[in-house]
Chains A and B, each alone.
Chain A
Amino acid sequence: MALLNEALMQQLATVWAVFQGLLLEAIPFLLIGVAISSVAMAWDPRGKWLQKLPQGALMGPLSGALLGFALPACECGNVPVTRRMIAVGAPLGTALGFLFAAPVLNPVVLLSTWAAFPDKPWLLLLRPAGSVLIALLLSGLLQLLSESDLLNGELLAERNLSQPLAKFSLLERRSGLIGEPIAQTKLVNQANRDGDFQAIQLLSHGVNEFLELGSLLLLGCGLAALIQTLIPRDLFLLLGQAPTLSIISAMLLALVVSVCSSVDAFLALGFAEQITPGALLAFLLLGPVIDLKSVSLLSRVFTWPALALVLAGVCLIVLVLGQALNLVLL
């Protein structure tokens, strides 16, 4: 019993340490994301410029994906930026393209992929290309839903403020003509009315955004630390050379391990020789879109059913891409 207790205490101490590692690594990137979001709010409080970003099933997600080069943020940092884009009425496809592809389509991630796998030039090509494809397909899929089915309620209310009133029925004008306005939308609305966005309001927005997303990040890091410490990592890689199963196991590992997209290539280097090329690509494509750490953050963008659709959709796309690569290379 004493041995069992000691083993349990060691496990818990290790979970606690891994949790701290994940959290301390992620917080600076969350700050960067919140800072970009706040600057966007100050620069374009009514979303005049962001609303002019390209629309359309192809150009929207593509332009959003390319924004990753201008606003390099990993998957934690780009959630607040995406929320801001959606809130001010940017085209949905553009915002989703940014959310799904920017964590890969940025210079830091591409350089780290090249540094980790200089002997696999196909990976340097297929990782960004696969990421853009995911952004296009996933954005297309999600836009089949109505905005009320897709977007988190508070975010939707804020977005509705930037839309022409004629677009909504009287009952839908929750934050407009009828119903109790949400504090944040009131804050933004007031700031927008005032025209001159004061620094202190910007600070208030940023701090509130950080508090909200930071507490969700804590939850995600705790979950990721618990699962990856208690379940042996080898379980995820047991299916090494079986073409399809190796892809699925690498995807599960990507979901659990929850490391930042700027360093995941170095982590993959540790087991790249044990798995198929398709599984390696799948690991590098899935993690930047969704993992245990980011699920809670993404719940501030999407409704839970939409989030389940994101997970199912991206898993299917990544599985097909990995499988296609295995067919070519194996």
Chain B
Amino acid sequence: MPNSVGARASAQSGVAVKQLPYLVLGLWGVVLLNCWADGRLNLLLHSNFHSLVLATGVIFLLLASAGLLWPPSGPSRRNYLPMAVLSISGIALMLWPPKPSLSTLAANRSSAQLGDSEISFLSPPEQRSLSDWVRLLNSQPDPELYAGNPVQVSGFVLAVPGAAPEIARLLVRCCLADATPVGLAVRWPPKQQWPKPDQWLQINGVMAVESHQGALRAVLVARKIRLIKAPARPLEP
């Protein structure tokens, strides 16, 4: 009798061991769905990849359910270390959502060179986004062309070593790993402290021309600055 109890317990633990991989897979299904639902993908990935993450999460959950319902009968691999690594990291992903310093990230990367083909000439000046302005300035670099144009843009404060901070956005083609900054030089109101890096601002002002390192450049003269919440989609395609 003790033998049969031991055998039953051993068989049960064998089934539990076989189900472990599916539990880890299910956990990752939940992690991916959670990442999709809590909006962090807007901060991490180009929108083209969001549906892929969602579909992968659903597939993981379906496969995990199938494996838990019908555990395999044959011998199974003991992937304890990979399972532990994946479980711990999956739980860490759920517990600690990403809170990157966009300014720190941007400071490490050179500004994006935007192609001429991407310019949107149709928008009137006050409707141009920050990246529209940067595209325009890249393609038609004569700053005199825009002097006096009204501007309303939003972005985060990008610290520039040895100079006034810029207002910037990050462009992403794949994920945060390839994010590159585009920024506009800003002439901040005198007698006011410069804003802190990473703060999100909406700035109303006008374009002007200033001399910078021996050349003329366009600068946004800030007239009205408003602190705003980070947008739901902080990255631009």
Contacts and interface: CB of A to CB of B under 8 A. Distances in A.
B113 A203 contact: no
B113 A13 contact: no
B53 A28 contact: yes
Interface in A210-266: 210-212, 214-216, 218-219, 224-225, 228-229, 231-234, 237, 257-260, 263-264, 266
Interface string A176-213: 00000001101100110000000011011011101110
Contacts of A269: 113, 115, 173
Nearest to B41: A24
A18 interface: yes
Interface in B16-66: 21-22, 24-25, 28, 32, 35, 40-41, 43-46, 49, 52-53, 55-56, 59-60, 63, 66
A270 interface: yes
Contact of A25 (B49, B117, B171): B49
B173 A267 contact: yes
B99 A17 contact: yes
Given A25-B49, A25-B175, A273 B76 contact: no
A234 B74 CA distance: 53
Interface in B48-107: 49, 52-53, 55-56, 59-60, 63, 66-67, 70-79, 81-83, 85-86, 89, 93, 96, 98-101, 104-105, 107
Nearest to B89: A218
A124 interface: no
Contact of A214 (B76, B86, B180): B86
B113 A25 contact: no
A55 interface: no
A49 interface: no
Given A229-B108, A263-B174, A18 B100 contact: yes
B3 interface: no
A10 interface: yes
B82 A21 contact: no
Interface residues of B, number: 63
B77 A203 contact: no
Contacts of B93: 20
A184 B76 CA distance: 7
A223 to B, nearest CB: 12
B110 interface: yes
A187 B74 contact: yes
B75 to A, nearest CB: 5
Given A25-B49, A28-B53, A183-B78, A16 B98 contact: yes
Contacts of A18: 100, 105, 175-177
Contacts of B67: 200, 203-204, 207
Contact of A211 (B46, B86, B110, B177): B86
A27 B104 CA distance: 26
Contacts of A118: 117
Nearest to B178: A267
B109 interface: yes
Closest 10 CB pairs of A and B: A17-B98, A17-B100, A21-B176, A21-B175, A215-B82, A266-B173, A263-B174, A10-B101, A21-B44, A28-B52
Given A21-B175, A204-B67, 20 more contacts: A10-B104, A13-B101, A16-B98, A17-B43, A22-B177, A31-B56, A190-B74, A190-B75, A204-B74, A207-B63, A208-B77, A211-B25, A211-B83, A218-B86, A232-B109, A233-B110, A266-B173, A266-B178, A267-B174, A269-B113
9 contacts: A14-B105, A16-B100, A17-B105, A27-B53, A200-B71, A225-B177, A228-B177, A266-B173, A269-B113
